Amino acid sequence: MLGVMKNALPFWPARKALKAHFPALRLTGPRVILRPPLPGDFADWVDLRERSRDHLTPFEPAWHPKSLTAEYFAHRIGIQSRDWERGLSCSFLLFRAPDNALIGGVNLNNICRGSAQFASLGYWLGEEHQGQGYMHEALRLVMTYAFTAQKLHRLNAASLPHNGRSIKLLRHLGFEEEGFAKAYLEINGEWQDHVLFGLNEETFKRQGPIIA
């Protein structure tokens, strides 16, 4: 995974699955499309996650034993739908534009309003789709959505220190390294250090188009 993605559902399956109701939203670029998840995405989602398991698990919260089941997926998108309606997060699946193949996902997590107006950026990409510029384009679309439609002022991101690809991507997108947090997030079953990054609206607007 590139970046930090909110995947763990520690309270599942204690709570009944929620029905998913997302806005009819699509973010479209030259090579990628982002939209909220749908129940019909399960087969493609579980196939991509299973194929990329060994690549993703070192960079994500520990996978639930039933994380690749239909019941888990239904609960997952139900929680994402509820959080979107409450203004707490925005969850997107990422598709390759020419053939509409599912290749990853992007989240705006922990949206904070009031005098803060920020969110945390998370993202993951299937192993076979790494290094082709898809995530760069996808994050530019989500960043534009965050600073315009969501009217956020700032985006935060964090990366494991040894995740060089993620750090390079964030810097290329204009994020600035702002600190180091010890035992910041529980990743793959262990509390791990992270490098902290930030980008505000003014800096983003000054950048103009970024070539991948």
SS3 207: helix
Give the per-residue pLDDT at 13. Answer: 52
CATH of residue 50: 3.40.630.30
Indicate the pLDDT class of residue 9, thresholds 50, 70 and 90: low
Full residue range of the structural domain in which residue 31 is found: 27-153
pTM: 0.90
In a domain, 107, yes or no: yes
Give the per-residue pLDDT at 44. Answer: 98
**At residue 54, what is the residue type?**
D
- Provide the domain count of the chain: 1
Specify the DSSP class assigned to residue 16: P
In a domain, 8, yes or no: no
In a domain, 10, yes or no: no
Lowest mean pLDDT among 8-17, 65-74, 114-123: 8-17
Per residue in 137-149, pLDDT (tens digit) is 999 999 999 999 9
In a domain, 111, yes or no: yes
In a domain, 184, yes or no: no
68, 76 in Cβ contact below 8 A? no
Give the per-residue pLDDT at 212. Answer: 45
In a domain, 212, yes or no: no
In a domain, 192, yes or no: no
Please name which of 115, 121, 102 lies closest in space to residue 44, comparing C-alpha atoms: 102
Whether residue 13 has a cis bond before it, omega within 30° of 0: yes
Contacts of 190 (CB under 8 A, 6+ apart): none
Task: Kindly tell me if the per-residue pLDDT of 193 is higher than 80.
Answer: yes
In a domain, 94, yes or no: yes
Average pLDDT, the chain: 91
